[in-house]
Amino acid sequence: MEKTENEKKPSAVSDVGAWAMNVTSSVGIIMANKQLMSSSGFGFSFATTLTGFHFALTALVGMVSNATGLSASKHVPLWELLWFSLVANISIAAMNFSLMLNSVGFYQISKLSMIPVVCVMEWVLHSKHYSREVKASVMVVVVGVGICTVTDVKVNAKGFICACTAVFSTSLQQISIGSLQKKYSIGSFELLSKTAPIQAISLLIFGPFVDYFLSGRFISTYKMTYGAMLCILLSCALAVFCNISQYLCIGRFSATSFQVLGHMKTVCVLTLGWLIFDSEMTFKNIAGMVLAVVGMVIYSWAVELEKQRKSKVTPHGKHSMTEDEIKLLKEGIEHMDLKDMELGNNKA
């Protein structure tokens, strides 16, 4: 029993570390990009191309890591990597178009709708079910974030189509991260190092044209300054940590948990915007943030309660093994890789 408890402590610490890394890097990159893209900052309005720079640096870090032996490269079929990269790039482009064509209020509503969409998709694709407590806590988070972020809501046909495409592709991408890690027993960083080069190349080729439709300018017309270059490098460095931590979190938790806890970033961004950029903070904002945080606490409790219920339902003297357990056992014997074994334990 002591061994089990001791094993859980490092796992819990690494879970908190992965999540803290994601929140810190995500909030940092939003603040850096705000300074880079705002008219009062450097006026760099090429978001899709910037994302290409992000993945280019991430790919470079992955290549160096593989070359120095810090991470091991595992086989994933090329068609799966291409399909995943296509979905991820559609998500990025659709998000940018949705923000351009819709009001900020409708854009925020579309982002909030990702939680129920992810829940439905996980139910359809993986037959995953949620308890009433989890569903109720998700609603509290959605309502709380909605109160503090949604203002004007204007809808148009093109914007609605882009928003739907963005929500569907982003949800599918986040679910696919966890699925690919489990399917090929591959670590989060190893998977990222395989997909990042494909995304970087495609975004750097097509990104400038997407940005032209969004801003009416080509990146070649932008007058680069040393300050803008430093801000781009900072944004890229933070993006590496953001990308790695996203894969880590979804591999450790679930796409739904990632979406729910991800709204902590929204609360942090609103707070930092008020402290650093003198953004307006109303009673409505504060009430919404408090409600969102309460919903996240309830969600954590509900997930833990669900785990306890499942452990009580599952008999301790189980003699038969599921197909997934048999497959994991075979893979562990064949590869004898400690990382694979650890990932298999996380899945169980």
* Residue tagged 């953001």 (tokens): 242
Q: Rounded distance, CA 171 to CA 341, Å?
A: 28
Q: Tell me which amino acid residue 196 is.
A: A
pLDDT value of position 274: 67
- Rounded CA separation 193/198 (Å): 10
Q: Break the chain down into helix, strand, coil percent, rounded to 5.
A: 80, 0, 20
pLDDT tens digits, residue range 315-347?
Answer: 544 444 444 444 444 444 444 444 444 444 444
Judge whether residue 152 has pLDDT over 70. no
Instruction: Report how far residue 45's alpha carbon sits from residue 36's, in angstroms, rounded to the nearest whole number.
Output: 8
**Cα of 30 vs its chain's centroid, Å:** 14
pTM of the model: 0.68
Distance CA 143, CA 137 (A): 10
Are 150 and 109 spatial neighbours (Cβ–Cβ below 8 Å)? yes
pLDDT 10s digits, 233-242: 999 999 898 8
Half-sphere exposure in the Cβ direction for 325 (13 Å, CA): 6
- Summarised one tens digit per residue, pLDDT across range 8-55 is 444 666 777 777 787 788 778 878 888 888 877 898 989 899 999 999
- What integer is the mean pLDDT of 304-319? 63
Residue 330 is predicted with a pLDDT of 46
Residue 331 pLDDT:
47
> Mean pLDDT over residues 234-253, rounded?
82
Averaged pLDDT, 76-90 = 91
Count of alpha carbons within 13 angstroms of residue 308, beta-carbon side? 6
Contacts of 155 (CB under 8 A, 6+ apart): 102, 106
Count CA within 13 A, CB hemisphere, residue 342. Answer: 13
List own/partner pairs for 278-286 with CB under 8 A and 24 or more apart: 284/147, 284/148, 285/148, 286/148
pLDDT category of residue 150 using cuts at 50, 70 and 90 = low
Q: Which residues have C-beta within 8 Å of that of residue 329, sequence separation ≥ 6? A: 321, 344
Nearest CA to 116 out of 189, 174, 50, 171 is that of: 171
The residue ranking higher by pLDDT, 103 or 24, is 24
Q: How far apart are CA 127 and CA 121, in angstroms?
A: 9
